Amino acid sequence: MKKINSWNRKFQVWQYSVSHSTLLLRSVNAERDNSRVDVLFPAVSLMHLKPSFGALEIHEADDDDLLKFLPESGDKHHGKLYLLNHGEAYVCAAQCVWNEDDGDHHSPSRFGPLRGTP
């Protein structure tokens, strides 16, 4: 398992676009943090999520993790498996990218509006 990144701040599922299978997790806490973090997973083929996380640590799964978390999936998923908080949740997607800026919850994401959502 390879660590991608981690943040000691609250994140929540912010947006999901069905038409482009794109997931956006966002951390905004104006009282505690002076920045906003957006984590984007494009081309999602599988996900198991909670609505929010007290902190977020992302790892890219290795072959052993694939067998543990997706034992019967075979080739039914596409992309890489990303474990959130050591498997508390997971996302299978083409990649995982993030951006930190000084935006608030009303500011558009650096990744732009997700198509297929208002």
**What are the tens digits of pLDDT across the range 34-49?**
889 999 999 999 999 9
Average the pLDDT over each of 62-66, 72-76, 105-109 and give the range with the smallest value.
72-76
Residue 46: Cβ-neighbour burial (10 angstroms; 0-12, 13-18, 19+): middle
**pLDDT tens track for 85-102:** 999 999 999 999 999 998
Q: What number is the average pLDDT over the span 60-68? A: 87
Cβ neighbours, 10 Å, residue 93? 24
pTM, two decimal places? 0.89
pLDDT score for 118: 46
